[in-house]
Structure 1
């Protein structure tokens, strides 16, 4: 896997797997104030997540999960076992993990505002740090690289990825 990429000051994209047609799986790691890992990747990409953290050179003190799909929570237990960070999971979300989250969140996590964005899942959240100009979208939208569009474009998730039955009508 490529080395972590600093996307803005002290915020890193850790790509955990790349597939044909420019599809990437990744997590984001902010080293500002409280070092925070957002999502933990697929279970079979855990080593890539852990290696990326080592490459950045800062240990996470907090893990925030945006929603409960496997590509966001698969490495949860491994990260908790390695680093023992404080963990945050959306309210009303149940994880099938060996470790119980420390906190269930609604609106605020440290400097992040957690914005409830249902549609992809009932408990999907985006994380906004307005002062830093950072928005971590989870699966609120997909990046252009997922569909081969030019860099800088985003698109809504196709209905096939949604657990909301109303999405099929769009």
Structure 2
């Protein structure tokens, strides 16, 4: 009986070593695969500078043009006068599901108003990146036709503007 137990313990040792080797090989393959996957992903990642292998003049031109992109401020007209969605608005009886159309019309109306959105003689543009409330209050304090406008009227306009721009339409 003693020799049978020694034989089983030898088989157990061999099996443990085989299983250990198998686990080691599988872990090695998995880790190598993950390392290669992350290495390939990082080569195409966003941290590589634009124009990395380009000549110096081309790099400078790319940087200049990319810096100009931040100065572009344009907000298009949201609804054209002949937009099909406006025709749906006039024919449908349930107006509550079309709140976004009223909001778009309100934003277009503010942009088309006589509020001077232009600066330094440029074309009219939106106040993207500026505080609309402080702009209107400054406009009231300068020598423009809006000099005597009451603050309550400006607050009403701004509440409507903020509801149209960010609100959900009071569902």
Q: If the length of structure 2 is used for normalisation, what is the TM-score?
A: 0.23
Q: Hey, which of these two has a bigger chunk of strand by percent?
A: 1
Higher relative contact order by CA 8 Å / sep ≥ 6: 1 or 2? 2
Q: Hey, which of these two has a bigger chunk of helix by percent?
A: 2
Which one has the largest radius of gyration? 2
Q: If the length of structure 1 is used for normalisation, what is the TM-score?
A: 0.23
